[in-house]
A and B are shown apart, each in its own frame.
Chain A
Amino acid sequence: MIKSREKMVITDEPIVVHETEVMIESQEKMVITELILISDNYRVLLFDDEPILFSGTNVFGNRILGSSIDEDYEKKIEQYFHIIVDPKTYFDFINKKISYYSILKNSKRIFIVEKSFDKSEINSYPIDFNSIPKEYLPSEDTFCPDCEIQPSSSYTLRLEGRLADKHYALPNVLSGILKAFTDFIKSAFSGLKGISLKPNVLISPYASGSFNITFNVDFENEQLDLYRDNETYSIFLKDYLKYCIDYLPLEVDNIFTPDGHDAVYFEALLKKYQDIYSKSFLNIPPDTRAALLEEIKLSSNEMIELTGNVGSGFTSITLSNYVDDKEYPISFIDSTVKDTVNKTDSIIESKTTISERDEKPVPYELHIFQLNTNTRNGTANLKIKDVDEMPKFRLHIDGEEILEGTKYTESLHLNKWIKVTGTAHRVDNKIKKMEITFEKS
């Protein structure tokens, strides 16, 4: 076993527990222990006669990665590495972009946790990477094994950073997120034909840590289908959400071209989409590929809405599947993902639509029904003379002047139609986005 820092030598001799107590026998002991121990969401990532690799969260909601180091059968003690990792690093690990070895190597916070076999006694102490004896060091190609769980139809969005870390969220930002994620889920099933599957999305009370929102997808409504298969729907939905966030940017150039079949992740998703039909004992319609692409195109819009608020009171969103009271992370959204989502949407648009833009700002009459005064992004309805339809589009108000007390917030709060000047971006002849020129009154 690895010896405590004071006596760190490469040896097979088991560590004597009381030697380590010297290092943590202080007021700091409790802080350190609480910080580095897993209290929730414990999940074994690799099991081979024993848990080899695992993850979880501490009492503060920080993600912890850990692995088994060694055990002493005579003293009945186990040793583990525990590392506190930020959400981005954790996702890079479970998506096999970085190895466990590289996380250990770059971590300033590696701890050795010693536990009695029955877990009644726990000790811990920090260790730096260079002090880990070579024979205990994981190899460089320690990429996360594939772990499959049976997905549920519950999801959590964990907002982190800034206000979210104090368990707060801005009301308008929150309402934007709730709507965008709900529409994102609904768009996943919008192209199905012959199956009356219109999921209801129910939201559970918010929980702190940092700021958690739980969405429960109910597939039962409007369904008298004898062959309803919630398991198949849940598997598809989980993969669909991950595809749109993580894999679509990698394959967007291929999937929207007529003979673009060289997209491994899309083909896997399409198979699960078709399973919805086959498990319901229905023939798979010939145009499921086109239907799924259309859903993805719709979801691209919802993802812009969802990611558009990153930076407004929080810095990242962790999307997890919520199974048996545990969060199983699926995807991570930060400002980098926000940029990628916008670029991906532009590529979809260029490949699937005819788009045009006003040559110069022109007058429009609109009603703003959602506006983030920090990012200056929002959503509005357009008034078209003698036409009942009021198309919805995204907007951005230019300039840096404060928006409170202007006609824009007046439209938002008083449900007023206002006249603005803006440059509209039309896709297939419909306004998709408008850049509004800021006017004081």
Chain B
Amino acid sequence: MREMTFDKIHTDIQFKCITNDMSQNVTDIFVRRVGNAALSDKDFLSYREEGRKLEDDTQKVICMSRGLSILKIENNNEESILNTLRPTMKPPINFKPRKKYKIKFFCKMRFKNNAGLVWKTPSKDNPYHHTFFKCDDFNMGDIEVLEVAPITYHD
């Protein structure tokens, strides 16, 4: 079994994003918003992996920009997913309406063993928010995709 390492997310920084607060999670179901029904590596690239440089220099934001935003859903049913997705999508879409055009689907998934670590990053507006740190050897096979479905936006 491979051992997880996290050297890539620590490139160019002098502090550690990985802490004892984070753990693997192979049981809960998470949702990630994606651009296409056919998933690709591009849907699982962090802000930094997209080649985008961050201007905020606070440690938390730097670390979040090196992970992936995911939402933890309480129950594996449609109502729970909608209750999780809709309110949390509202602020980003309200401020940046173009997200509607770029994020058209959600991917419901579980992480497989040794895929990476999950970090709880909730806010008052988004209590379900978590950040996923991919391990250095992460590939799409490390995700068990349960469903990819369109997101319906209501104006």
Contact = CB atoms under 8 A, between A and B. Distances in A.
Contact of B95 (A38, A76, A100): A100
A44 B98 contact: no
Contacts of B96: 52, 67-70, 138
| Chain B interface extent, by class | 20 to 34
A265 interface: no
A359 B120 CA distance: 65
B54 interface: yes
B79 interface: no
B94 A148 contact: no
Given A138-B97, A147-B123, A119 B53 contact: yes
B51 A119 contact: no
Contact of A50 (B47, B57, B123, B126): B47
Contacts of B94: 138-139, 141-142
A390 interface: no
A48 interface: yes
A44 B56 contact: yes
B19 to A, nearest CB: 14
Interface string A70-89: 11010010100000000000
A51 B55 contact: yes
B144 interface: no
A118 interface: yes
Contacts of B53: 117-119
A69 B69 CA distance: 19
B51 A48 contact: no
A222 interface: no
A400 interface: no
A47 B61 contact: yes
B64 A47 contact: yes
Contacts of A227: none
A146 B98 contact: no
A67 B99 CA distance: 13
Given A68-B96, A145-B123, A145-B125, A50 B91 contact: no
A287 interface: no
A50 B52 contact: yes
Contact of B51 (A43, A118, A137, A141): A118
A165 to B, nearest CB: 26
A324 B62 CA distance: 14
Contacts of A76: 51
A135 interface: yes
A389 interface: no
A52 B54 CA distance: 12
Interface string B54-77: 111110010011001100000000
B51 A142 contact: no
A123 B91 CA distance: 27
Nearest to B92: A48
Given A44-B61, A78-B52, A49 B47 contact: yes
B95 A67 contact: yes
A417 to B, nearest CB: 55
Nearest to B103: A49
Given A42-B55, A118-B53, A135 B95 contact: no
A145 to B, nearest CB: 5
B2 interface: no
A49 B65 CA distance: 7
B3 interface: no
Contacts of A52: 91-92, 95-96
B56 A42 contact: yes
A54 interface: yes
Contacts of B51: 76, 117-118
A50 B102 CA distance: 13
B78 interface: no
6 contacts: A46-B95, A78-B52, A117-B51, A135-B101, A138-B96, A142-B95
- In the complex, the 6 A-B pairs of residues with the closest C-beta atoms, listed nearest first: A146-B124, A48-B92, A139-B94, A49-B69, A117-B52, A119-B53
Given A43-B58, A48-B91, A136-B98, 13 more contacts: A38-B55, A44-B58, A46-B91, A49-B33, A49-B69, A51-B65, A70-B98, A76-B51, A117-B50, A117-B51, A142-B94, A145-B123, A147-B123
